[in-house]
């Protein structure tokens, strides 16, 4: 059978569930049968053309959507078995980015900053919203324990991103940290940050049901910024000093403005959110008043093995985070559920019909 079902992007608000060519493995390539695929916060923005990189996606259309996926190896091209240590029947995941291995950044080990910047379902390889998916040559592929169920393994990608964000924030013993946004990335950041034993972990989100989950997963304090003055509460909790670190995981302009206000002098803002629009903050606070550090976070460089281990050992929990799963053919309802947070949705995933 040469045809498969996939969600194909043609343009703004033009995604189609249709037949596509079944991929075949060439040299150093791996084909997987997709067991589960996920919806990232960026995906609804891509659909509506609100992500800053939406036009990049449309320029590569038609392209199969999705950069969150996990699958079972069904075909190994020449050299792939030796290169990746895989066998037919193994579970395997590829990182979101396929680096060129030759640009300035790749040569310095910063492959997630690759100039070519090919990302599954965005700017090159077809994505994982399909029954079958090919990991092309130069993919960064990791073997996943067979006993890690798909409903857990599908969170490897967002967890890897969260780990990278926490590492970029340079969270230290004794720090007071605020996480803004209790979506999947924020809740994973919370659990990873907890492993570093900071002095105080505060989670902010305008949705009370998410704050309840954050509390269950280890937040010391939760604050709804719609009901409380977040900046004042953080200052009160720190005897007027302000927090050491803010991990921004919601892509909100208001959250960024609050972050620079609640940080202490020489505090650190780690920005991981994907924004639908440009944001503006008072840079005099960053420079003249507080001398803040502003740090970006992008993808999950070098963190996939840790993410796989944390999930396998139960150090990071997913049960309250993966809230919904749809058949792939119901992709539109899945996107709307994720975007509108219907029925307290957090991480929404999809299962192809062949799985």
> DSSP for 110-132?
-GGG-SS-EETTTSSS--SSBSE
Q: Taking residues 184-200, what's their average pLDDT? A: 97
CA distance 141 to 73: 11
Q: What is the pLDDT of residues 116-128, one digit of tens each?
A: 878 999 998 999 9
pTM of the model: 0.95
Residues 149 and 164 in one domain: no
Q: What is the pLDDT of residues 215-270, one digit of tens each?
A: 999 999 999 999 999 999 999 999 999 999 999 998 888 899 999 999 999 999 99
Residues 248 and 166 in one domain: yes
Q: Do the domain assignments include residue 314?
A: no
pLDDT at 1: 57
pLDDT at 117: 75
Q: Grade residue 2 by pLDDT with cuts at 50, 70 and 90.
A: confident
The residue ranges of DSSP E strands in 272-321, in sequence order, are 293-296
Residues 120 and 210 in one domain: no
Q: Grade residue 303 by pLDDT with cuts at 50, 70 and 90.
A: very high
pLDDT of residue 275 exceeding 80: no
Q: Do the domain assignments include residue 315?
A: no
Residues 339 and 279 in one domain: no
Sign (positive/negative) of CA torsion 79, 83, 84, 86?
positive
Q: Do the domain assignments include residue 311?
A: no
Q: Do the domain assignments include residue 235?
A: yes
pLDDT at 112: 95
pLDDT at 137: 95
pLDDT at 322: 98
CA 254 to chain centre: 21
Q: Grade residue 22 by pLDDT with cuts at 50, 70 and 90.
A: very high
User: Coil, strand or helix: which one is 317?
Assistant: coil
Q: Do the domain assignments include residue 304?
A: no
* Average pLDDT score over the chain: 95
Cβ within 8 Å of residue 228, ≥6 positions away: none
pLDDT of residue 350 exceeding 60: yes
Residues 167 and 135 in one domain: no
Provide the greatest CA pair distance for the chain.
66
pLDDT at 276: 66
Identify the H or E element spanning 76: strand 68-76
Residues 113 and 165 in one domain: no
pLDDT at 199: 96
Q: What is the pLDDT of residues 73-105, one digit of tens each?
A: 999 999 999 999 999 999 999 999 999 999 999
CA distance 55 to 51: 8
Residues 241 and 128 in one domain: no
Question: Which CATH number belongs to the domain containing residue 73 in this structure?
Answer: 3.90.180.10
Residues 177 and 130 in one domain: no
Burial of 239 per CB tally in 10 Å (0-12, 13-18, 19+): exposed
Q: Do the domain assignments include residue 307?
A: no
Q: What is the count of structural domains for the chain?
A: 2
pLDDT at 277: 74
Q: Do the domain assignments include residue 96?
A: yes
Residues 192 and 331 in one domain: no
User: Coil, strand or helix: which one is 177?
Assistant: strand
What's the domain range around 72? 3-155+321-351
pLDDT of residue 351 exceeding 90: yes
Residues 139 and 164 in one domain: no
- Angle between helical axes of 208-216 and 184-194 (0-180°, round to 10): 30
pLDDT at 279: 80
Residues 68 and 94 in one domain: yes
Q: Do the domain assignments include residue 205?
A: yes
**For the CA atoms of 29, 97, 115, 189, what is the dihedral angle to 10 degrees?**
-160
Of all residues in the chain, the percent with pLDDT exceeding 70 is: 99
Burial of 221 per CB tally in 10 Å (0-12, 13-18, 19+): middle
CA distance 76 to 198: 44
């Amino acid at each position: 059978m040469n045809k498969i079902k996939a969600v194909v992007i043609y343009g703004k608000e033009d995604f189609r569930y249709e037949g596509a060519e079944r991929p075949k493995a060439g040299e150093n390539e791996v084909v997987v049968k997709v067991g589960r695929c996920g919806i990232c916060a960026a995906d609804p923005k891509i659909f509506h053309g609100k992500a800053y990189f939406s036009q990049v996606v449309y320029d590569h259309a038609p392209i199969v959507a999705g950069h969150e996926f996990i699958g079972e190896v069904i075909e190994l091209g020449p050299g792939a078995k030796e290169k990746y240590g895989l066998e037919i029947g193994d579970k395997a995941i590829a990182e979101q980015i396929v680096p060129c291995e030759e640009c300035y950044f790749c040569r310095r080990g910063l492959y997630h900053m690759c100039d070519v910047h090919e990302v599954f379902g965005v700017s090159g390889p077809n994505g994982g919203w399909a029954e079958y998916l090919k990991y092309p040559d130069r993919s960064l592929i990791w073997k996943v324990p067979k006993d890690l169920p798909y409903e857990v393994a599908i969170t490897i990608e967002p967890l890897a991103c969260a780990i990278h964000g926490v590492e970029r924030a340079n969270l230290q013993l004794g720090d007071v940290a605020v996480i803004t946004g209790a979506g999947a990335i924020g809740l994973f950041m919370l659990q990873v940050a907890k492993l570093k034993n900071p002095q105080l972990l505060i989670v902010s989100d305008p949705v009370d049901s998410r704050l309840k989950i954050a509390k269950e997963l280890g937040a010391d304090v939760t604050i709804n910024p719609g009901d409380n003055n977040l900046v004042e509460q953080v200052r009160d909790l720190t005897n007027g000093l302000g927090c050491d670190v803010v991990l921004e995981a919601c892509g909100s302009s208001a959250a960024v403005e609050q972050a620079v206000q609640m940080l202490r002098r020489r505090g650190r803002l780690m920005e991981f959110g994907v924004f639908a629009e440009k944001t503006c903050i008072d840079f005099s606070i960053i420079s003249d008043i507080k001398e803040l550090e502003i740090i970006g976070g992008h993808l999950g460089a070098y963190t996939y093995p840790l993410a796989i281990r944390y999930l396998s050992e139960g150090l990071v929990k997913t049960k309250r985070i993966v809230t919904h799963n749809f058949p792939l053919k119901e992709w539109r309802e899945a996107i709307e559920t994720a975007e509108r947070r219907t029925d307290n949705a957090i991480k929404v995933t999809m299962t192809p019909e062949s799985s």
